Structure 1
Amino acid sequence: MSPTTDATDRIDPAARIGRVTLAVSDLDAVIPFYRDVVGLRVRERDDGRAVLGTDAVGGTGGAPDGEDLLVLDAAPDAGPRPPDAAGLFHTAFLFPSRGALGDALSRVRDAGERLTGASDHRVSEALYLRDPEGNGVELYRDRPREEWPEADGEVQMDTLPLDVDSLLADRAGDADDAGDAAPADTAVGHVHLEVTDLDAAEAFYVDAAGFDVRQRWESAALFVAAGGYHHHVGLNTWNRRTAPASGTGLVEFEVMVPDGDGLEAIRGRLVDAGVEVHDGSDGFLAVAPDDVRVRFASA
């Protein structure tokens, strides 16, 4: 399936990922991971829900009062995600510098967490681990865009070994202990999903929602983005999932669009494509393939 090329059918280049919502069976077990290891702050908390994000911005690129990045909904009766179910591959937290990623690695080690991977993707450097309920997490930093390799209009990402000792040596050192806050400019850089059908996913995210294809990887993965980013949404069939998303794990994620006109254009394309859409006060919720919920909202 090929993406459309008419610029009026593309998502606004300033679109980005907003909050990610996860259903978890035990809030008290999961909150410390995202607070002490990732470095997020608990911004709201009650018996059934926790909202985590950043503190007020001391640099550039975020909201003056901080920003919500992750919502944890208590779902003690939901049951674990079935092994054949589609859903979250990982939530990727983007740090503003290599030093800040080094600090994150220091927090991982101080908290006694174990990395499941560490990769140089040519466009970024990334650390991988899992939260207490098995949800995939990526901690990464981007290289400058002028260093990203491209060919034939696509970014050329790869998976190469990452020198974690060098990364640790380059840590900024101002937030390197378990429980220290991540920088205010930390964001959710992308969401990576496991899907049952890559063509169906492309029809939703590219042909209807309007993201651009940034890389196809061995006919089993697709990376799409707005504004020339390497990817805002990753999609893969590596583990051959065969059932819709269910159980604990991903509830929904947000795509933030700068203005209402752009939001309405996306809604129109999704409706024309037969996608189930539910309107809300600040945007709309669309049901993507595999029953993944994507909330499009005005930034």
Structure 2
Amino acid sequence: MTDTNDGDSATAASDRGGGLPPETRIGRGALRVADLDEAVAFYRDVVGLSVLDRNDGRATLGAGGAPLLVLERDADAPDRERSDAGLFHTAFRVPSRAALGEALARVREGWRLDGASDHLVSEALYLDDPEGNGVEIYRDRPREEWPRTGGGTARMATEPLDIEGVAETAGDGSDGGGVGSAALVDRAPADTDLGHVHLEVTSLSAFEAVYVDGLGFATGMSGPDVRFVAAGGYHHHLGANTWRGRTTPAGGRGLAWFEVVVPDVAALDAVRTRLDAVAAEGDAEFAVAERDDGIVVTDTDGIEVRVLTE
């Protein structure tokens, strides 16, 4: 990874009424799945989410009563093609290293781990759900420990995770069993959230036009084939990459939509203003529609992002 110059993106956002407020966060994500029962079982038993609501065609899962993931049954939707843009992974953020160790124990008990990395700012586990949707479970290090570039941006890398060190923390303070407790903790902590969403896109410049110039995220640590963008100095709320050479818009099963939550109506109006300016300049083709609680942006790759207020 190399750090891009985020001065241009910051200037562009300023020209269009400023960037996103620091309180901006990712809300819910939604997946279109063929087998709802199997998907619910995975996100409940492996990721550790609780089922908050369920009917024949839809399930909502979350932590501490807060909804984080919506699963929508669509058995007739085609499989995602290898060329389609869409989801790289949804990333569930747990509040501690002990909670990450508990997640690792659930994965080892009932699933398979595909990867594990130390990103300097965070420690992460990677796996795929039953339908091939990427999943990250991670914990952040304290912000004061994040390494920084010369420009002050959080510096990230991909290094091997001390996976056994993480495993040994399971049960530390959360189930009363002590460090390395053999008791399997079956639920993620109440303050687990959806920390970021990582997309596969066909064009990074089009991604930046919509999400940086339009929505107002700031570009952080990035490389030639990847962009990380965030609000409030976070390492990233959204990632986008072209690693697999996706060439066609999102289609079929997989990511249905995700939410960006801003703190107030003024912030939402500023997003509208910036998107209008980007549309007028013709830098990217995207659609904007109004809803009762905010707006829906369908980006260049057909990915739907819902911008809402708290």
TM-score by length of 2: 0.90
- 1:269-280 alignment runs, 5 A limit: 269-274=274-279, 275-280=286-291
Contact 2:171 2:185 survives alignment (8 Å): no
In 2, Cα distance between equivalents of 1:116 and 1:178: 20
Consecutive unaligned residues of structure 1, counting only runs of 5 or more, are: 56-65
CA RMSD, Structure 1 to Structure 2 (Å): 1.5
Structure-1-length-normalised TM-score: 0.93
Deviations 1:6-45 (A, max 9, x none): 2842011110000001000000111111000111000010
Size of the aligned set, in residue pairs, is 287
Superposed displacement of residue 204, structure 1: 0.8
- Alignment pair present for 1:159 and 2:158: yes
Segments of structure 2 that go 5 or more residues without pairing to the other structure are: 1-5, 176-181, 280-285
Q: Which runs of 4+ in 1 moved over 3 A?
A: 173-179
Task: After TM superposition, list the pairs within 5 Å mapping 1:1-299 onto structure 2.
Answer: 2-5=8-11, 6=14, 8-55=17-64, 66-111=65-110, 113-151=111-149, 152-172=151-171, 174=174, 180-217=186-223, 219-274=224-279, 275-299=286-310
CA distance in 2, matches of 1:85, 1:154: 31
| Mapped partners of 2:276, 2:81: distance in 1 | 30
3-state SS of the aligned residue for 1:167? Answer: helix
Shift of 1:223: 0.3
| Contact map agreement 1:206 1:224 (CA 8 A) in 2 | yes
Structure 2 distance, partners of 1:136, 1:254, is 18
Measured in 2, the distance between the counterparts of 1:265 and 1:24 equals 34
Following the alignment from structure 2 to structure 1, what is the Cα–Cα distance between the partners of residues 133 and 117?
A: 18
- Tell me which amino acid in the other structure corresponds to 2:130: P
Instruction: Decide whether the 8 Å contact of 2:102 with 2:184 is kept in 1.
Output: no
Is the partner of 2:301 in helix, strand or coil?
Answer: helix
Instruction: Report the Cα distance in structure 2 between the residues aligned to 1:232 and 1:147, rounded to whole angstroms.
Output: 19
Query: Structure 1 vs Structure 2: percent identity of aligned residues?
Result: 53
**Does the 8 Å CA contact 1:107/1:177 hold for their aligned counterparts?**
no
